Structure 1
């Protein structure tokens, strides 16, 4: 006689098998089971190694993200392995847009500076994950960041209350006034010229650089003025336009407050047109090279590091390591040009009252382990990991300050660099990822004569701070409503691309 198995018995057996993992076991590798994440502040982040796929914006000063010393150290500390997809700087934005429309997303998008508008649009579509619950549960360092900088939380919070991206804070003195122009001073000395202070004087200096063979090789190979389309403040218009109309490219894509206190744009104003005429004059006389409107910063650096005689006279850049090798001697012969007084007397330094890069770290809907990804980014806000990520290994690339050593601000120092900063290396991530370098940390760097940080601090204090714009007159980074964001997602790119194209075309007219 056949035995009849009761339904209750089957339920008990199947439940036991499920609990024991012998039946229907979930595969962590396919993301079907949540991995156990250790509490905030506890390392490693996970006891069993987890892999994240990270799409990262390339950096010319990093040899290889995969073999980088910080990458290896951070993997050992966190137990999180990274599969990198590195996107070259040139065309990076277009590549990201293609990926976001393809549906084939990485776990993490890193260092692309995704705009608030894009964050909201893709967040509403479910492609970017809200980070709020991860901040609540795991955001040890993020909460400390918000405590120190309440404005940061306001700026990165979308109108719907969600936070879709973590920023990078880089509150250094020279970065607060980052739009700079650099000039090769041996050429000024050879031609018996003074540092230019007005747009007319600047024009005369450039003309002398072009026609009087300042590098002394008997060839007309001098490049009086150049810039690039990528890199920090390397767009030529960012510096020169402020002599004709205050141009807020620092925080909000050329938006300004007009005389009525309303938000307006600069590129339909008479001052902008006068600035374009000036740029056209420089270009038409061969003082501003055409490559300025097409080359990236790596190509510009080839001009600055030209073998043999120098050929680059003046260059727009926030920092000299973007146009010359800090490991060499040539960069130290460049000094900053102060804000140039324009024909109507305007002489102004834009001031970045929001010293942060927005849209640096994003988790997508493809992430198998979003809690792990968030903890991986959150921990980088800590001081120790920031110093390792940005400057390298302690006692190799940097060390803690000794008694009596002073920082670049004249106060007691906290840390000191042991090698020059700004050369191609493989020990750290340079300015990639989430970290916080506040003004106190940056200014507590032990200063030395000729040290790049000391140079930047002093040049900014002496030449740019006296003309600093009132921070309250700077338009902050803006979020928009969902309806506005959907419209702006298309309009913003079209308008900015058009303005950039027209600047180049009017200069080349």
Structure 2
């Protein structure tokens, strides 16, 4: 356990805080020589954080909240961190006052379980007290409700403060790309239906659009382990809505929004399989998408000679140096394709706030611990948690914002409201805890961040342009009512654990087999019988119960 000496505070830092407009909250700073209370913070160390003790965010919290922070470090690997905390919780080890988590270190079920055992304390009364939840109570009521709903356990208690940071980009990861240069060379229109897409892809693999005299063109490709890189999920949404197994195991709601359904056991799913089987059998869809990993996929996309006609990829990183990458610059996003029944959805997952801050049973001053957690929700602090030091790494200065285009300005006429002056992400830095801790930004806040393009510039910013197209094409392409993340009781989760694992493994395996022809589509009824025998209906029944709890 590392300790802070109250006298080590940097004078320069204190002066910088004093000069920052609106930064201080009256009555929170310590008087000269006043003893500060200590809070212990348990968190997983991140190699991109230089020093948690001298970190800018740490000093900001200590200065403004009148506390000293001590850190109890957990392993960086999620499973290892879980194991260490479990050992601490089950032994006589004194727990840190607060546990700050990220990357789903604890699932909702694990938090509820620890809460029911008294390891984490309920925060309901603190959140309801506006004198304590000073910053949380300033959040728009609609978003407060979402955050409360996401953090409420089946027993009705709230054991964590959450991070609410919705981004259009992350809600629709299964983006699909088509080679616009090949469309132009072959004098083809951008396809808008599954039938047109078939004809275009057939031309791509048969008419040598890369002009090297070799039949090396790949119509459709992807990979197994990349983010948003499975083309089957993009294509399947032309036949039935499927969220890409990103939440609730891929379950959805019926057209009325009242009944939980399994898309992978529907007639629409079968029709999607038939369509993709046709593409694969004619050499249009590469079966390698079911076997190659992200490294192999990236190699295909970066081939010296462009060989990719279309692909699924959640981000630009699959093309190295995307902004200057010639292969990437030939690609453009393709809107959802209209299927034979008029369906044109995109794999969409409604944003759900995530656990971020929990107070343990060993905290001697939970009110102070809560106040520190609430401090993170102050606007400038939430921005510091992600972007670094105000005025150095980011600014909301109106004059500076006028120099840049907003990320979605061309699409929605949303001007720039925040400029990143210095990118401290993806590098070793000492400005924040690497986006760990409670945080609130609205979707509108995110949309106001600057693009890399200067205002008035005619240069093409490919990455910003693509983000705009992604939002335009995919954000609204989903049913009116989408199944929210379901919360199960311990008994329900225990009942479903094996069923879910078996069903999802079987669905993925069968998808590959049906599409590649290793399993005939005439075996569809047996597939449904197998799902039933694995407990699919039991899963749906329990999911319905969990959904009904939310809707009450």
Q: TM-score, length-normalised on structure 1?
A: 0.71
Aligned residue in 2 for 1:236: 231
Within a 5 Å distance, the mapping from 1:391-410 to structure 2 comes to: 391-394=387-390, 398-403=394-399, 404=402, 407=406, 408=409, 409-410=412-413
Structure 2 unpaired stretches of 5+: 4-24, 62-68, 90-94, 454-458, 519-552
| 1:128 shift after superposition | 6.0
Aligned residue in 2 for 1:474: 482
Deviations 1:278-320 (A, max 9, x none): 334444555444554456656644544x264444443323443
1:459 maps to 2:469: yes
1:184 maps to 2:175: no
| 1:340 shift after superposition | 0.8
- Give the counterpart of 1:440 among 435, 441, 444: 444
Aligned residue in 2 for 1:99: 83
Within a 5 Å distance, the mapping from 1:44-123 to structure 2 comes to: 52-55=41-44, 64-67=47-50, 72-78=55-61, 79=69, 81=71, 83=73, 85-87=75-77, 95=79, 99=83, 103=87, 107-112=99-104, 115-121=107-113, 123=115
- Give the counterpart of 1:507 among 515, 535, 543: 515
Structure 2: distance between partners of 1:297 and 1:43: 50
Aligned residue in 2 for 1:61: none
Instruction: Give secondary structure in 2 for the equivalent of 1:267.
Output: helix
Structure 2: distance between partners of 1:96 and 1:327: 37
Evaluate the alpha carbon distance shift between residue 357 and residue 182 of structure 1 in structure 2; reply closer, same or farther with a 3 A threshold.
Answer: farther
Structure 2: distance between partners of 1:426 and 1:154: 35
Structure 2: distance between partners of 1:368 and 1:311: 63
Aligned residue in 1 for 2:345: 348
| 1:269 shift after superposition | 0.8
Aligned residue in 1 for 2:381: 385
Instruction: Judge conservation of contact 1:174–1:456 (CA < 8 Å) in 2.
Output: no
Deviations 1:64-94 (A, max 9, x none): 423389993323434454736333xxxx6xx
| 1:28 shift after superposition | 9.8
Evaluate the alpha carbon distance shift between residue 146 and residue 322 of structure 1 in structure 2; reply closer, same or farther with a 3 A threshold.
Answer: farther
Structure 1: distance between partners of 2:306 and 2:262: 39
Q: How many residues align?
A: 456
Deviations 1:243-272 (A, max 9, x none): 111224565432222256322221111111
Q: TM-score, length-normalised on structure 2?
A: 0.66
Structure 2: distance between partners of 1:375 and 1:297: 43
Instruction: Judge conservation of contact 2:277–2:515 (CA < 8 Å) in 1.
Output: yes
Aligned residue in 2 for 1:7: none
Structure 2: distance between partners of 1:168 and 1:478: 18
Instruction: Give secondary structure in 2 for the equivalent of 1:239.
Output: helix
Larger RCO of the pair (alpha carbons < 8 Å, separation 6+): 1
- Give the counterpart of 1:197 among 192, 197, 221: 192
Structure 1 unpaired stretches of 5+: 1-26, 30-38, 59-63
1:488 maps to 2:496: yes
| 1:339 shift after superposition | 0.5
| 1:160 shift after superposition | 0.6
Evaluate the alpha carbon distance shift between residue 446 and residue 28 of structure 1 in structure 2; reply closer, same or farther with a 3 A threshold.
Answer: closer
| 1:230 shift after superposition | 4.7
Instruction: Judge conservation of contact 2:82–2:105 (CA < 8 Å) in 1.
Output: no
| 1:198 shift after superposition | 1.8
1:154 maps to 2:149: yes
Structure 2: distance between partners of 1:370 and 1:291: 54
Evaluate the alpha carbon distance shift between residue 76 and residue 228 of structure 1 in structure 2; reply closer, same or farther with a 3 A threshold.
Answer: farther
Instruction: Judge conservation of contact 1:182–1:337 (CA < 8 Å) in 2.
Output: yes
Structure 2: distance between partners of 1:432 and 1:332: 34
Aligned residue in 2 for 1:263: 260
Deviations 1:219-252 (A, max 9, x none): 6655443334455533434322111112245654
Evaluate the alpha carbon distance shift between residue 146 and residue 485 of structure 1 in structure 2; reply closer, same or farther with a 3 A threshold.
Answer: farther
Shifted more, 473-482 versus 390-399: the winner is 390-399
Instruction: Judge conservation of contact 2:174–2:230 (CA < 8 Å) in 1.
Output: no
Instruction: Judge conservation of contact 1:227–1:292 (CA < 8 Å) in 2.
Output: yes
Evaluate the alpha carbon distance shift between residue 132 and residue 275 of structure 1 in structure 2; reply closer, same or farther with a 3 A threshold.
Answer: same
Evaluate the alpha carbon distance shift between residue 412 and residue 491 of structure 1 in structure 2; reply closer, same or farther with a 3 A threshold.
Answer: same
Shifted more, 237-246 versus 452-461: the winner is 452-461
Deviations 1:182-227 (A, max 9, x none): 2232333333333222223333433444454544556665544333
Instruction: Give secondary structure in 2 for the equivalent of 1:110.
Output: coil
Instruction: Give secondary structure in 2 for the equivalent of 1:192.
Output: coil
1:315 maps to 2:308: no
Instruction: Give secondary structure in 2 for the equivalent of 1:386.
Output: helix
